């Protein structure tokens, strides 16, 4: 019998495929927000972070968008999660929030603020990590007023 007939349904097939085909990448931004249940948006492509200077990957499906990160902005905050038996590198919720403010002109300030509100609502706030990643992403001054208003 096949996996389809016998196995559990694949819960994150796009993330699994991208992680398998682009192992040096890290799931980020809207895709990470969705994974962490911090957005109402449904990503239409997989957002993936690559180190600055890394070769642009070739992958026909699923659709994906690459973002370039340098230094600690790329290497810090990575969690490895097992999804459908595959190790997937994804940014933590706190790192993802900082990234969303860093890329607010691309994803929208409203999306970043919504994510911050949902993060607060779930009640597992790690302010130290949030501010650490805000500093690494150089958005501490941008995020501070939103954090003070929402928290």
Q: What does the domain layout of the chain look like in residue ranges?
A: 3-150
> What pLDDT was estimated at residue 4?
42
Q: Enter the pTM of the model.
A: 0.88
Please give the Cα distance from 130 to 150 (Å, whole number): 14
Tell me the residue ranges of DSSP E strands in the chain. 26-27, 46-51, 64-69, 78-83, 86-91
Which residues, 6+ apart, have CB-to-CB distance to 22 below 8 Å?
48, 50, 57, 59, 64
Class of domain 3-150: alpha beta
**Cβ–Cβ < 8 Å for 29, 13:** no
**What is the residue-level pLDDT of the chain in tens, covering all 151 positions?**
334 444 444 478 899 999 999 999 999 999 999 999 999 988 899 999 999 988 888 888 899 999 999 999 999 999 999 998 899 999 999 999 999 999 999 999 999 999 999 999 988 888 889 999 999 999 999 999 988 888 8
> What pLDDT was estimated at residue 109?
94
């Amino acid at each position: 019998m096949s996996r389809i007939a016998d196995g559990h349904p694949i819960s994150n097939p796009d993330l699994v495929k991208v992680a398998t085909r682009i192992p040096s990448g890290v799931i980020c931004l809207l895709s990470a927000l969705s994974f962490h249940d911090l957005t109402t948006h449904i990503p239409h492509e997989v957002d993936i972070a690559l180190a600055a200077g890394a070769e642009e990957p070739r992958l026909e499906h699923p659709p994906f968008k690459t973002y370039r990160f340098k230094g600690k902005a790329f290497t810090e905050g990575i969690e490895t999660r097992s999804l459908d038996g595959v190790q997937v590198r994804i940014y933590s919720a706190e790192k993802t929030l900082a990234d969303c403010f860093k890329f607010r002109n691309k994803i929208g300030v409203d999306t970043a603020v919504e994510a911050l509100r949902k993060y607060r609502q779930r009640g597992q706030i790690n302010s130290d990590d949030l501010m650490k990643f805000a500093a690494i992403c150089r958005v501490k001054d941008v995020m501070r007023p939103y954090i003070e208003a929402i928290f």
